Amino acid sequence: MSKIIPFKAVRPASDKIGLVTCRNYDDYSPAELAAWLNFNPYSFLHVINPAYAHSQKISWDKRFKGVALKYKDFKSEGIFIQEEKAVFYVYEIQTKSQTFTGIIAGTSVEDYQKDVIKKHEDTLQYRVELFKDYLHQTQFNTEPVLITYPDSVEINTWLLLKKQSEPIYAFTTTTKEKHTLWKIDTQSDIDWLQEYFENIPNLYIADGHHRSASAEMLYEQDKKLGNPNLEYFMSFLIAESNVKIYEFNRIIRDLNGHSKANFLTLLEEYFIVKPKEQELWKPENKFEFGMYLDGNFYALFYKHPLQEKAENSILNTLDAQILYNTVLHPILGIEDLRNDERIEYIPGKQSITTIKQVIDEGDFEVGFMLYPSDISEIKTLADHNLIMPPKSTYIEPKFRSGLIVYEI
């Protein structure tokens, strides 16, 4: 049984929506960030990065207080408005290649604690605590947790019907994405949607494990205050088949003291190694890996997929885990995938020419391309309380910051 609620959201004034919302802060280069902050006074970047010229010189506490003050300024200036009643939203994102449609709602911290909302990624304690402190100081969140639900003819039909009505927003971004938002405020729709989700036994976090963990930590810290908004966190609910899962590819700074010839020989214990020379080769199936080394591409075909399946080790059938177990750890000496400075990650959404370029520049020596996981692997791991290796998946859609605000 999954509990969802409507909430009294804060959102941009309709005439400023295209100016206010922004991508995730970390997606901007320093030059882009400076340009947006200098030339767009309505950008939500001003809220999440106040006093940006001196942001590296102030403490987290002062920075969070600055965020809270700037957010209040945006509200007082009429850049943001608040809904008069609690509502749901239907949100659609059209990219060049895909359309994503989902429901913005509040999801239950209690469901998260009871594993009704299931997880598949580990979290870093310092990041959870830092974002908890951010929520405590700012008293708002605009980054929903991406949560999947089982595909449903009833929900799809309902969504199609709602999308025939007049949206409250329809705007296009500089990245050529079209964003459309519909408000769901009739009691009959709200009741129907809540009742439908009450019959779904489990929901699955696709993206946002740190945000959900921070919401739980804040609830446990401040629940004595009796604030009902702490009992929920904002989520973007989307059908399992509607998420797009990319891999994270790996680039490594050195061969851990091995010569190229010795390294290729060591790989042959686990893989059939086929040189592809200048062909931009990437995996087409599970248990296949691409590699770029010394100006050439290679195809690596794992020799023991049937053995992994026969042993029924769910985690060890993941390509990211196989690469770690056979190459990254025993040969290249990388133990901590999160913190080792010798490894970095490139989202599979980027062309493999990016990997070639980075390695050719000389700071990295070898790169590995993986085949993306699918939603069934993620769900199976979550159902067995297993955790994916760090940076196993890069998942879309990505939500616009400043589009919808959940106040705490």
Domain boundaries, the chain: 4-244+398-407, 246-395
Which residue ranges of the chain lie beneath pLDDT 50? 310-312
pLDDT of residue 306: 63
pLDDT of residue 148: 98
In b/e form, how buried is each residue of 94-117, taking b as 16+ CB within 10 angstroms? eeeeeebbbbbbbbbbebbeeebb
Q: Exposed, middle or buried by CB within 10 Å (0-12, 13-18, 19+), for 168?
A: middle
How far apart, in Å, are the Cα atoms of 265 and each of 6, 251, 301? 59, 20, 14
pLDDT of residue 311: 45
Closest C-alpha among 69, 82, 15, 68 to residue 42: 15
User: 397 preceded by cis ω (within 30°)?
Assistant: yes
Q: At 265, list the tokens.
A: 């020989």
pLDDT of residue 118: 96
CA distance 253 to 104: 41
Strand bridging mode 88-94 / 99-108:
antiparallel
Q: Where are the alpha helices (DSSP H) in 295-393?
A: 305-310, 319-323, 352-360, 375-383
Helix (H, G, I), strand (E, B) or coil at 345: strand
Instruction: Let me know: does 332 contact 368? Beta carbons within 8 Å.
Output: no
Q: Exposed, middle or buried by CB within 10 Å (0-12, 13-18, 19+), for 185?
A: middle
Helix (H, G, I), strand (E, B) or coil at 131: helix
Give the DSSP letter string of 10-36: EEE-GGGHHHH-B--GGGS-HHHHHHH
Residue recorded with tokens 């990650």: 345
Same fold, 4-244+398-407 and 246-395: no
pLDDT of residue 26: 80
Instruction: Let me know: does 90 contact 103? Beta carbons within 8 Å.
Output: yes
pLDDT of residue 46: 94
What is the dotted CATH code of the domain comprising 246-395?
Answer: 3.30.1760
Backbone angles phi, psi at 225, to 5 degrees: -75, -15
CA distance 254 to 267: 15
Instruction: Let me know: does 35 contact 43? Beta carbons within 8 Å.
Output: no
What is the dotted CATH code of the domain comprising 4-244+398-407?
Answer: 3.90.1530.10
